[in-house]
Structure 1
């Protein structure tokens, strides 16, 4: 779920316009009543709303009013022109949409409930009422002013910056995914009814998802200049260049972490630990990074796990025009500085017009106490900071990138001055600007050399059967919906990685198509080519409208994969199918205006109470930590770190902790389906 709203109104309204004006890649959710058995139903629904917006999503005036999200679950566009919104069941036609307002299949529209009463198509919409945080109703009403299409009646009291709606609760295990057994065929002639559930595919070759091939030679995604994953600790003073280009780093005072302390937590994955004066130095004297300046375009990406001492005055990375940090500043980032602001400097410092962009990040969890992914990008005059795969901030700096002859990770020079405190993993540099999908792929675990490669996703190589022969491949994937375990799912989501196009059928009914011609043949090709970076990111397609097609027992997902041409160098078809149930009356601590909801929570765990409370004591003291929520698990740390279910002393409330000396106790409480408490701190 998205935790950061757009930092500026320009980017928000660009997104809002995209919801309104263009056919969208569906990213859907179910809210209100589950899909009707009649697949033609295209009823728009209220999916989420927020009654106490304090500095979150902002309107065109810079304010942060209440908002209501409306979603069209498809399958066709709906014209909301003349429809109504209301907070009063006795007055269902309270506010009217503009005369013409098409909402594409799968699209979402956010309307501000601000009482500003603005209803101009193509502009931000504002109702003539506000929402009551103490509880009332929200209704979406058809043009007749009477017929209610969607409603939430008498919602409960709300919380600040917590939205409310119906969650999407998906099963932990997908119905099918990467590694699932399938059947695949590259057809040499038409195959009648091959996509139906009754078709006998026993003669087709067995395959393992995903199906495809990758014969491309670009391992760098725009030119990988170096990648340091810090996994090889055999030489403590050297950080090997995992891109195999020989650009090893010299490690001074920084140390390799223990095994399984890299960002994946898996065996064999390490990270580099910086203690405030450690540094990894890279030799830039030979001009190996000069392409960054020649193109005035580059990307620096890495994973960070800030220490408890963050924020502090320190450099995450630093480059200068002279040796050993001398000369002019060429490139640096603070993540963050002691003022909790993230700074990104290029070609000098610290002119906001020429060299610097910056943005405050008040959420400490984005730079301390957990792994976060960041990318710093320059593409001509445009500079961007990406956080966990989402664009956090964009600005314009007109200063052209300068060449540099020294580069440091963790400090501003080999002496370790103004150093970073925390762990770093998968530090990588590219010439050229990566695209949003490539950066998002990195943030979801793709290795830098594979950011535009499909190979890690391919279980069955179809290259010999497809390349130069046919742009089409057929894939049939059987899967089972359990019998006798309650109602069948009413939520169905297809997460699709593909290159370059596909058409999908569920039990013989077409449910989705992308980049495909209107009329299909056994040798059809995709309409356009996609980049490998796009294919790495799964496109989420809500098929909940087709959930009634599911049957208890065996089902079949059939796919016709389409390459751009038979001679294309790469191809991928990798579906993941998720099923679940919609859950009404859920709270969302991280609101998602314009995006699909997560599972949400039914409520909130009570705060942890300390007895005795903070203070000075002249003897060891036993502190009792209690929580009023029945069955809650209380977790406490005494080292200043954030308590989690895997970090700290835990137990059912009440929990007792003995303090033998000065200590900072931090505690929170957890309970299934409820949001955990805020972390309370007593010294």
Structure 2
């Protein structure tokens, strides 16, 4: 949906004071006086309230308003999403948002910036035009928490903000000014560890930068600054044509520095990105010198402390390489244009978006005109092969081939086990007796060759990696994890002979030794014969294709999906995946011999685990960066995303494309598919002016009771009306006269408070197959009961026992301009049928002497037609919306054999539940079957015991494996394979309802149509007498 929404709520007195401070220009505006506030955030992950917040105005040159920039701080014991503060900026918000994204994609740590809607005491102060375009930018604050988020493996370093004096006379231009910290305090400010007051790292850095011996200058400088990072930062700033009074203009102003503990080299961090990309209130020349940081913009002298660094030709050459790399990657139209659309396209004027894209094309060309295409620096050789994938083979016996995902490639005794091939490459027979194989070096003797086992010269020995007994050949007693595993061969003394470790495998392809050097590669299975290499594709095309940053029900953890568009498999062994490219591009290293199938996917759980198939980090639902690097840390792909929604993934559409889309059904391991477009048509089955007949009964039995049930009831003698205004009733004074088409005053007033109304209508289609929604709109004074084809569907102010002369139980004044009530009958469309239908109403006045009375209605249906191709995941979506667990009997007093789980189809459409799976709590896969609308079905612990207790009239899907825990446990109900999403994921507990813990009652969900996340809430459940298969 739209951007996150935030509320800052103050007393009116403090709000007015803050606004007054922010409007001054006499120095009062610079105060940091903060007002007490309550902070509320509403985003895709839910609603959060933070009391005892403090809000103040912020900014330097943009401090005054209206509107103002705001800084919102939170108490230590009441942090918001683990943050102590957030900022809201209001000047050229689009530039700040895009600038942050580009820096982070380039591998530079930068404050996260996302579009935000902000309400100050309910008021939206954002201007719809420039410089806000309707949104604030929510900007990450620079504090101790910034270091923890952006330098998670080195969070305890020093963060400095660097600004020139307001007078402009002195700048933070990285000059050495002696050992006294007081010489630096007025331009360099500690943003973390303020109380320690330790400036030694900063002083040492600028000392080296300015005073290191020439003979070792670059070597010494590389120890105190991350030179590559500095040059890349400066290159991004130059390509931005940043016109802020900062480094790109040759001014020591508007930047941050961070020095870690584990890595004490300083890095640059950007600040104030509102005048970049030809946006903002200052514009530079498109061909501005790329060395303006030291030459200075017109009228500037350059950053003094960097002039010596850039006097070295090799530094300039490396800097030019950074510019070229950025032009070919992050700033290339192929990547940059979709990024602009993704970050700004939904809310920015398209002429501004197009202007930014064109500017980058022009700036790229202008930069290349200065530096040329040819690198002046030496290239870097890339690593190739897998020398470290295995331990060197000792002797002639080797592990020669491993098939770790044998879906259907090689059959053995009627099944498809994982397989291992050993090869004797020597000239002598090898006695295998007592030698062992294992998938765990901590247990080297998992499989031990029996006495007499041997291999002849040139022989291949194939072993089954399974736990079967009997059958052909040897069985190892263990199978492989296709997401990553190892195989280790030991001699009789337990010493290693050979080994291989591998990552994600491709079904029906093996890994084996090939070539003259016997290195490992992907192979076509040839168990028992010489290995055959499988051709590989180009890994440069791999794309980060889908990601989930906040799983709750559908998925228990975040995930990242990689997609290989090449028709051939690709090798990603020793590649790296990270969410912190600025400081740790190698955060997750793929195991050697990791592969992605041709036109296939690799899915990794981002859950802070390090075992195969997992990543040692989690994604941030508030926005994050993901980057993929090859073995030489060359970036293959990267994405930046904004705040996410719980259980909704984001990814490329179609697979591998640059366009991003959200997916309400995340599909890791499957193709990303667009939701079909739909056409919604509303049909007036009954208009307010439709033909209707009404009668006021004069005695009991005068009108047969089937007047409200029979469509063909003879009402020809009843008074009728058609056309506008369409109401039935009377008005003795003024008010309803413009609403009434059939006047019943003479028949009702002083005689009877009830009238009967019949409104026939015709449906030309199959309503269940055609309609998705059905609504009844009514205007009434004072009460009524409505029947649809004889079934009561609505009742207001009506006595429980209706008589021919009943009066309304309360008064109600009808709305003159519209309907009073709307009833949603979408779950009762089945009451309609093709052909003739009837809406019958007993309408009632509050008394026979009330001065007015009216009733009118319309009935409308909504039809949704899908445009374009059929959506392949439609049944999965229907299951997510409509299949619910409604009852749990988990501790039956007669014994666990009477435990059961009841499920219901809570929608108006039939559900194909074939293949739906319980994967936690119990194990069960639904056979081929369909549930009708409203139908309930149970899965049971013991079929025979259940039948004996509850009879044969309950629909039973089958008997599950395992047992429900008497103390509570997690229950996971998943979609059929190949989907991995869960329909429901919750954990019940025996203390929720004590009578269900062996007391004979079951847990019953209160509202089966509630959001799936509420199944985890004990307040959503109640206790009840067991009623499997029944409401």
TM-score between the two structures when normalised by the length of structure 1: 0.30
Report 1 or 2 for greater relative contact order, CA contacts < 8 Å, sequence distance ≥ 6. 1
Greater per-residue strand proportion: 1
Larger Rg belongs to: 2
